[in-house]
Amino acid sequence: MGQCSSAFTSETRRSSCPNICSYLLSDKRSIMAIAPLQAERRPCILYRTEVWDERHLWFNKSFDEAGNMVSRNPHTALNRRTMRRHLDISNRHPTPLLSFSSSWDSALARRRRYINHGAGDVSIIAIWVDSSDEIYDAYNEARELGLPNFEQYLDEYLVHHAVAAQEYSILAIFRGIAPEADAQIVLPRCRSTIPVPGGLPLLITDWIRQEMYAHTGVYNDLKLYTFLCSLSRIPVQKEMRNGQVRLKCLAPYFLASWTFNDV
């Protein structure tokens, strides 16, 4: 049997084996599944800023005809490879993930960017995420993947597949491109001023209550207060006691707390 004409001899095979094994191990890791965040580590409120102007280059409306927010490629398996692809800002391939932010300020900043680049129809969608099973921390995932400048993913969270309309997770939609204006949030023992898209009432608490009812079909003060604290940049802690939920503002912010029946 003739010798192979390739220069890949037994000696080079031995020296190359670690490289081949490393490649195979790296490839295997890239298709490994990723564990979603535990419930206690997920923020309750997330925001997604979308361009609904179909003529715009950055059009990214996620709603389908049934009112679900659906990723661009919902049936693709989620693993390290698709996670890296989603977090790569130069990537144009669709992925099974939807990007959100836990920061109202970040959502507004993205809105301003879209408007400044000519988008004629922009919306910020606020969702309640307790009911979602698959939430991922983009910052942690980018760091694990060794991506450069992973700090840019602070406050970003990823929802796998979709936000189903039947879960009634959507709390409010802030639509329009009017300049921002200040609005006041008034709660018992807590008052704050926040920037909002223009055209909304100066006293915005009641408007948000009605907006939540329009999307969820119920009045829920626990979700309302949690949402309003998120808009106000006030971190809160939930405690369960005797079938009730205590929502407490964390220091050094307002020293306020409220109690609700568990829902």
The range of the structural domain enclosing residue 67 comes to 36-177
Mean pLDDT value across residues 208-228: 97
pLDDT the model gives residue 20: 37
Q: Look at residue 170 and give its three-state secondary structure.
A: strand
Question: What single-letter amino acid sits at 14?
Answer: R
Q: Please write the tens of the pLDDT for every residue from 17-63.
A: 444 333 333 444 445 568 899 988 899 999 999 999 999 999 999 99
Q: Please write the tens of the pLDDT for every residue from 74-96.
A: 999 999 999 999 998 887 789 99
Q: Look at residue 63 and give its three-state secondary structure.
A: strand
Q: Whole-angstrom Cα distance, residue 104 to residue 49?
A: 10
Q: What angle do CA 35, 41, 42 make, to 5 degrees?
A: 85
Mean pLDDT of the chain, nearest integer? 87
Mean pLDDT value across residues 212-224: 97
CATH number of domain containing 154: 3.90.210.10
* Within-domain flag for 122: yes
* Within-domain flag for 70: yes
* Within-domain flag for 151: yes
* Within-domain flag for 89: yes
In the chain, DSSP finds a helix count (H) and a strand count (E) of: 6, 13
Q: Whole-angstrom Cα distance, residue 229 to residue 223?
A: 10
pLDDT the model gives residue 238: 92
How many domains in the chain? 1
* Within-domain flag for 59: yes
Q: Please write the tens of the pLDDT for every residue from 87-146.
A: 988 877 899 999 999 999 999 999 999 999 999 999 999 999 976 679 999 999 999 999
Q: Whole-angstrom Cα distance, residue 15 to residue 11?
A: 6
